[in-house]
C-alpha cells in the first residue's frame, strides 16, 4: 500500500473537506463515521483517552473505510510526534502554536531530512511502500491557533515552509480573550479573531479550518472561505442523539 493523502490534495486544490473528531477512543466509532462519509477523522490524543496502540488501531479503522487518519498530539516534543506518525497518522494537529519559532520547530519534528530532523525509526509506517521517500510530501502538519499571540503572528506561522493548514481552536482562543464559555461563538471580537486567522492563512496561500457544532455553522464558515471543517465529534453526536430521542419518548 502506497502512502497517499487525498485530504492534502483536496485542500491544496482549494476544495472544502469535511471531517470529524474522535474523543471516545472507540475504533468502532471511527469505522462508523468513516463509513458514513467523513473524509478525514482526527484521533484526539490530547483530550481523548487514546493510548498509542489504540490510536494505531483507530488509524487502521479509518483507512479501511477510505478516510484519512489524523491525530491531535498532546505535546510539541519531537519524540512524541514521531511516535504518532510512526503509528500511521497521515497528519498531525499540534495544539497551542503561538509563534513562528514553534512552527519552525514542528517542521523539524515532522519532516525527514533535508527538510527536517525526524528520526527514521521502524514502526507501522513502514508498511507503506516507499514511506521515507514520500512522507514529507504526503504528511499534513496542522498547527492549532488557540491564543491571541497566535492570532497576531498568524502570517508568520503559516509562512513557514512545511506548515500546511492553519486550524483554529475557538474555545481556548475565547478563554485567552477573557470570555466565558457561553460567550464564545457570540462575541464579535471573538469572531473577528477567527476571521483574522482565516485572512492570515489566505494571505500566504494556505488553507484554514475550524471545528463547528452543526451544519449551519459549517455552511457559514465555508461561505467565508474555511476549507477544513471539523463537524462535531463522536461524543457530541452520541450525546445529542440520545438527548433528542429521550426527549421525544412519551412517558
Burial environment of residue 21 by CB neighbours within 10 A (0 to 12, 13 to 18, 19 or more): buried
Residue 127 neighbours by CB distance under 10 Å: 10
Please identify every residue annotated as catalytic.
47
Please state, in angstroms and rounded to a whole number, the distance separating the CA atoms of residues 192 and 194: 5
List 230's β-bridge partners, or say none: 19, 211
In order, the DSSP letters of 167-214 are: EE-HHHHHHHTT--GGGTTT-HHHHHHHHHHHHHHHHTT--EEEEESS
Dig out the grid coordinates for 51 from the structure: 493510548
Cα separation, 70 vs 160, whole angstroms: 21
The CA–CA distances, whole Å, from 27 to 41, 43, 58 equal 11, 10, 5
Amino acid at each position: 500500500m502506497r502512502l497517499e493523502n487525498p485530504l492534502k490534495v483536496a485542500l491544496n486544490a482549494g476544495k472544502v473537506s469535511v471531517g470529524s473528531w474522535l474523543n471516545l477512543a472507540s475504533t468502532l466509532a471511527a469505522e462508523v463515521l468513516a463509513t458514513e462519509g467523513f473524509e478525514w477523522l482526527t484521533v484526539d490524543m490530547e483530550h481523548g483517552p487514546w493510548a498509542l496502540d489504540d490510536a494505531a488501531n483507530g488509524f487502521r479503522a479509518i483507512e479501511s473505510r477510505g478516510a484519512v487518519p489524523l491525530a491531535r498530539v498532546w505535546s510539541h516534543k519531537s519524540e512524541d510526534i514521531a511516535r504518532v506518525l510512526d503509528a500511521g497518522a497521515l497528519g498531525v494537529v499540534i495544539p497551542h502554536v503561538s509563534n513562528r519559532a514553534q512552527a519552525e520547530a514542528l517542521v523539524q519534528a515532522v519532516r525527514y531530512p533535508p527538510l527536517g530532523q525526524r528520526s527514521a525509526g521502524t514502526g507501522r509506517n513502514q508498511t507503506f511502500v516507499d514511506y521515507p521517500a514520500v512522507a514529507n510530501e504526503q504528511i499534513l502538519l496542522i498547527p492549532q491557533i488557540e491564543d491571541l499571540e497566535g492570532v497576531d503572528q498568524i502570517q508568520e506561522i503559516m509562512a513557514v515552509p512545511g506548515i500546511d493548514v492553519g486550524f483554529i481552536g475557538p474555545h481556548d482562543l475565547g478563554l485567552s480573550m477573557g470570555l466565558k464559555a457561553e460567550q464564545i461563538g457570540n462575541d464579535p471580537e471573538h469572531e473577528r479573531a477567527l476571521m483574522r486567522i482565516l485572512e492570515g492563512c489566505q494571505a500566504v496561500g494556505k488553507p484554514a479550518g475550524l471545528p463547528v457544532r452543526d451544519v449551519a455553522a459549517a455552511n457559514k464558515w465555508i461561505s467565508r472561505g474555511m476549507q477544513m471543517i471539523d463537524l462535531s465529534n463522536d461524543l457530541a453526536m452520541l450525546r445529542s442523539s440520545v438527548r433528542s430521542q429521550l426527549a421525544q419518548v412519551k412517558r
